[in-house]
Every structure is written in structure tokens, then in C-alpha cells.
Amino acid sequence: MAKEVVKKIKLQIEAGKATPAPPVGTVLGPAGINLQEFCSKFNEATREKMGDVVPCEITLYDDRSFDFVLKTPPAAFLLKKAAGISKAGSKGANQIIATISKEDLQKIAETKLPDLNAYDVENAMAIIAGTARNMGIAIKGYNDKELAEQAAEAAKEEAERAKRDAELAELEAEAKEMAETTNVEVPADNTESEETAEEETAAE
């Protein structure tokens, strides 16, 4: 009799470093499977990929047994690794923060091809290039013309932003100066005028 699938869980774990501690234990513990057994099997299967983050799809069965399938590392992880950066650019394609070669792109595309909706390596390269663009990573020798256009556009936007900032600063300075020059000095109190009024009333 075939075992019944209870649940499928997806995790991203650093190769060779799975432990029963969180996040593995937090996610798989409630399922009742042998955490130590899973960690040992995962670490053995990924020991040649040390340093990579490996997505893993785990199938849980009704008898608390399990199977798992390893996927290729996330494209963003591979791109950051190739570019030597820890995080993507905050401005996406409008800010180039790193550069990789066309060869790097092809290697990543070949790695990711089994998990991509791509017909061949060229198609996979185009998909990965799009991810790289959104992360602020340029690809030398692959889309130089497009990158040059993006750089020019980014420079133009930066210049316009600087101009707006300068105009805003000037307006703020003018407003501050105007406020200072139109500031009317108010007497500390009007005790003297009140005393005069009282004296005039008494004289009458």
C-alpha cells in the first residue's frame, strides 16, 4: 500500500549545515519526523555544495517518514556570490553596484536551468540577466548597450534629483530668512500702559 502524502514543505538551508535547531527544527519538528535523520541525510547530500544556500522540497508521509528533493540555489544568491556582494542594490536597475562577466552569467544559467521555465541556456541567461538587472548587477559583454543607456538615464535622474534638492534647500533658506525679517518685537508686558490708564481714570 502506497504511503499517503501528508504535506510538502520547502526550506532553504545552507549546504552541509542543517541542524535540529531553528529554522529546520521549528518547521519540521511539529511534523514528527526524525530531525537528526533529516539533517544527516541533507548534510550528506549537500556536502559538495558547501557555502551555497540549497532549496529543499520535503515530502512528509502519514507514517512520519519523509523524502526530499534538492533544488538549485536561488538565482539572487548565485548572482551575489559571483559579484562578491552581500546584498542587492536598493535602487534596482537605476544603480549599478557590481559587475559580473558573461561567463559568470552563463555558468549561473546552466546551474539554474533545471529549475527554470527555459528551453535552453540562452533563454535561461536572459531570465537570470533580468534578475541581475533588478539587483543592480551589470553583466559585462552581454548587455553593454542597455547598461550604458541605463547608466545615462540613472545619471540624468540623479542630476534632476540634485537640482530639486538644491531648489528645495534654497526655498527653505528664503522662507527662514523671511520669517526672521518679519518677526515683530512684542513688548514683554503692558503693565505700564495699564498703570497710565488707571491714573487717567483716577484723575477724572
| pLDDT tens for each residue of 20-38 | 998 898 988 888 889 999 9
Q: Mean of the pLDDT values across residues 146-150?
A: 65
Q: Mean of the pLDDT values across residues 174-191?
A: 67
Q: Domain span at residue 23?
A: 5-70
pLDDT score of 186: 52
Q: Write the pLDDT tens digit of every residue in 110-142.
A: 999 988 888 899 999 999 999 998 898 989 887
CATH of residue 120: 1.10.10.250
Residue 168, domain member (yes or no): no
**Number of C-beta neighbours around residue 115 at 10 A:** 14
Per residue in 157-188, is it b (16+ CB within 10 Å) or e — as a string?
eeeeeeeeeeeeeeeeeeeeeeeeeeeeeeee
Q: In total, how many domains does the chain have? A: 2
The rounded distance, in Å, linking the Cα atoms of 3 and 173 is 75
The verdict on 21 and 79 lying in the same domain is no
| pTM exceeds 0.85 | no
Q: Mean of the pLDDT values across residues 183-190?
A: 55
Q: Evaluate if residue 197 carries a pLDDT over 70.
A: no
Residue that is last in its domain, among 70, 91, 107: 70
